[in-house]
Structure 1
Amino acid sequence: METYDNDLLLIALVAALAPLAVELPKAFRPPIVVVEIILGILIGPHALDWVGFDGLFGTLGQLGLTFLLFMVGMEIDFGVIRGRPLALAVGGWFFSFLVAMVCAYLLSGVGLIQAPPLLAAIALSTTALGVLSPILKDTGEWDTGFGGLLISAAAMGEFGPMVFISLLLIPTHPTVLHTLFMVAFTAVALAAAYFAFHMLSSGLLDRLAKTLNGSGQLPVRLCILLQAALVALAAKFGLNVVMGAFAAGLVVGLVSKGEPGEVLRQKLDAIGYGFLIPIFFIGVGARFDLEALWRGPLVPVQIAILLGLFVLVRGAPVLLYGDELAAADKWPFALYSATGLPLIAVIAELGVSSGLMAPDRAAVLMSAAMLTVLLFPVLAIKLRSGGKPV
């Protein structure tokens, strides 16, 4: 128990220190996700070796992973991205995935990417909506035409990979049975959404919301119950649990729009981003194999190639936007879209735990992903502002 106490103290300390990065000047301010991973690297077994990543740390990290995917589902607002932006986002993501598959097979053939091409393509085609959302709000882009198109593309850049992850990692049944279980799970998720909408239209949710001011917190408990139920159902059906958490987030997101659901969202944000999700990212850092970055002379080359591939894969869809994007906005759009750390961390974690990706390959992928968050939004902002300070 003493080891658990020490680990929990260190993790809580690191989680509390990470937000202090927002006090740095904007020119040197990394996203908090990057800070959490870096601090996790420092205290983990591959650096100072102050904490392990099993036991209580590992359990809380798994809870953080499911809550992260739950929050990702909540962030996808189909009311905002419907219509032309959604059509472009869907077509653009499939175009990205096609480009990613071609690149992954070519580079896998020459040994520069040592991971299953499908897994590599999923990682290359992600976009970090959770990272981009506060950046777009801070820069005043959220409610602009450019922001609307980017939010749609980023949402699809999370939704598409999530669906593929659930299908890839790892069916435990024959293909036909696995497909039937997927259909059954989707039906249950849709039924949950229908029931939630019925509660919304009947005014029951408004009555439940009154308990948010007391110790009952019933809507929060129901959201966690829904998440646990869909995660357990996904596991029972032999699907990946990430699909259950993501589906629960979609359902809660659909029925918590507008002012009535704002208090509920704030409380779920507090549980997720204030407690569980930071532990997941600290754990990602603790598992990060630093030695893998200098085990071979090709590692810097691989990281550079991956950075170029992120821009190529997620930037390729600008060809579909035509007059929807001004010529000057296409490079910033490509750079924003290529920002993809959180889901890539999930993919790397699942890839290593399932045996589909070697730890040293995951370290290279994570290094490139961290650089996308550190570099690409800053470059995009500079390009959007014409090089002027922002």
Structure 2
Amino acid sequence: MASSRAVAVALDYSSFNAVEVPLMQGLSTSLVVIALLAVAAPLAVRSLDRVVKVPLVVFEIVLGILLGPSVLGWVQSVQFTDTLADFGLAMLFFVAGNEIDFALIRGRPASRAGLGWLISLAAGIGAGLLLGPSVEAAVIIGVALCSTALGTLLPILRDAGQSRTPVGIAVTALGAIGEFGPLVAISLFLSGKQLGPATGVLLGFVVLTGLAVFLASRSRHRFLHAQVTRTLHTSSQFAVRSIMFILTVLVVLSMTLGLDMLLGAFAAGILWKVVIARAPEQDRLVIEAKVDAIAFGFLVPIFFIDTGIDFDLGALTASPLTLALVPLLLLLLLVIRGLPSMLAAPKGSSFAEKRAVALFGATGLPIIVAVTGIGQDTGIIPNGIASALVGAGMLSVLLFPMLALRQRGRKAARIQEPA
């Protein structure tokens, strides 16, 4: 009896190994390759910096495509890396919400950016009705075309020293509306609920979040700030743990209510900014550095590399018509999102500055990836259109910020010229 039981256990163990070992090997390979690509991407940016300034995220996505199933097939997307990529996307939206200075963008920048976004949404859905196979597909295309990648643009603006300039403030307002607006549209039209119940749930979430922000703004948080200061350089890391708690609660709440998780991540960033606002400035700078390390040093690169790995290059190149959609959609991003964005340009802006605002406003990728993923999971849009939208988003990140900064550089050069 004992020997037969031992044989049964041995058989179970061998069958476990036969299934689990290949899975673990695939996971290990994927993790190592993704980590390698995350290191290689900034080195590639550095090597080309003197020739052309290419945003880091472009290299991360392109390297994912090259080593993923579409080209070399050295790395596969697995559930664990997909989960980490979801955390990376959530962290990107948390950082975006946390870095918005509402005192700077309120008034004219926010109102003009909101008007421009409504125009973009209407025009985007109109274009979607022409390109998509259904009304639902038109909504997905419209939401994708009216987005602005604030989480991608903020590091670019900050690295270029443009975040606090009038144009940088206008772009921040555009990005805040261009990320929050599409998230609201996704929650209303793509949640699977009727519009009435979906609106009620969304309003409930907004009220709860607004109440939390209001209560946080009324308190001085002396105990929390004291804990943050006491543990800032210890293993307790109370600030980082508090951030992860707030992020997790609001993400889970948004998902429980049937809303997009990115809405919760964006709201968490806003809430944390209010909570930590009265902490000592040096503490806030240290916490910001820690958040950047977690986001841009770990999770966000995994999201962009995983986006490249999941990119369906075969569906994009399956027909010349589908491939031709990429430049068409890139042009539509510029027209549908870029031109209305010029409404938010600062008063007295030169035409070069307005062009820069338009180019920044038309830069979109994270929302495009999120909304096309919803469309593919629900079977609303074909893989070809989804890949074309993501391809156009990648090109927008590659081209538009670079061209926008070049517009700003030309203006600065003209200012410095002797009279």
* TM-score (norm: length of structure 1): 0.89
Residue 329 of structure 1 and its aligned partner are, at CA, apart by 2.3
Question: CA–CA distance in 2 between the matches of 1:218 and 1:97?
Answer: 41
Question: CA–CA distance in 1 between the matches of 2:198 and 2:146?
Answer: 24
Q: Quote the sequence identity (%).
A: 39
Of 230-239 and 267-276, deviating more is 230-239
Change (3 A) 1:222 1:239: same
Question: CA–CA distance in 1 between the matches of 2:89 and 2:156?
Answer: 22
1:48-127 → structure 2 map (5 Å cutoff): 48-108=72-132, 116-127=137-148
Match of residue 225, structure 2, among 183, 198, 206: 206
3-state SS in 2 of match to 1:385:
helix
CA contact under 8 A between 2:27 and 2:78: conserved in structure 1? no
Deviations 1:5-30 (A, max 9, x none): 22211111111211213312243332
3-state SS in 2 of match to 1:209:
helix
Aligned residues: 385
Return the letter of the residue paired with 2:223.
L
What's the counterpart of residue 269 of structure 1?
Answer: 292
Deviations 1:305-357 (A, max 9, x none): 11111111123222575954323322222112111123222222233233333
What's the counterpart of residue 291 of structure 1?
Answer: 314
3-state SS in 2 of match to 1:343:
helix
What's the counterpart of residue 183 of structure 1?
Answer: 203
Question: CA–CA distance in 2 between the matches of 1:296 and 1:26?
Answer: 37
3-state SS in 2 of match to 1:29:
coil
Unaligned runs of 5+ residues in structure 1 are none
CA contact under 8 A between 1:126 and 1:161: conserved in structure 2? yes
What's the counterpart of residue 12 of structure 2?
Answer: none
* TM-score (norm: length of structure 2): 0.84
Change (3 A) 1:51 1:182: same
What's the counterpart of residue 151 of structure 2?
Answer: 130
Unaligned runs of 5+ residues in structure 2 are 1-23, 415-419
Return the letter of the residue paired with 1:91.
L
Question: CA–CA distance in 1 between the matches of 2:122 and 2:135?
Answer: 19
Question: CA–CA distance in 2 between the matches of 1:156 and 1:324?
Answer: 22
CA contact under 8 A between 1:196 and 1:251: conserved in structure 2? yes
CA RMSD of aligned residues (A): 2.6
Change (3 A) 1:363 1:115: farther
CA contact under 8 A between 1:256 and 1:265: conserved in structure 2? no
Residue 206 of structure 1 and its aligned partner are, at CA, apart by 1.8
Question: CA–CA distance in 2 between the matches of 1:208 and 1:102?
Answer: 52
3-state SS in 1 of match to 2:320:
coil
Residue 114 of structure 1 and its aligned partner are, at CA, apart by 10
Whose Rg is larger? 2
Return the letter of the residue paired with 2:147.
T
What's the counterpart of residue 249 of structure 1?
Answer: 269
Residue 241 of structure 1 and its aligned partner are, at CA, apart by 2.1
CA contact under 8 A between 2:137 and 2:375: conserved in structure 1? no
CA contact under 8 A between 2:38 and 2:302: conserved in structure 1? yes
Return the letter of the residue paired with 2:163.
W
1:150 and 2:171 aligned: yes
Question: CA–CA distance in 2 between the matches of 1:131 and 1:245?
Answer: 15
3-state SS in 2 of match to 1:51:
coil
Question: CA–CA distance in 2 between the matches of 1:137 and 1:240?
Answer: 28
What's the counterpart of residue 22 of structure 1?
Answer: 45
Residue 381 of structure 1 and its aligned partner are, at CA, apart by 2.8
CA contact under 8 A between 1:166 and 1:240: conserved in structure 2? yes
Return the letter of the residue paired with 2:312.
D
What's the counterpart of residue 30 of structure 2?
Answer: 7
Question: CA–CA distance in 2 between the matches of 1:115 and 1:309?
Answer: 19
Return the letter of the residue paired with 1:52.
Q
Return the letter of the residue paired with 2:239.
P
Match of residue 237, structure 1, among 233, 257, 261: 257
Deviations 1:209-235 (A, max 9, x none): 121211111121121111111222222
What's the counterpart of residue 8 of structure 2?
Answer: none
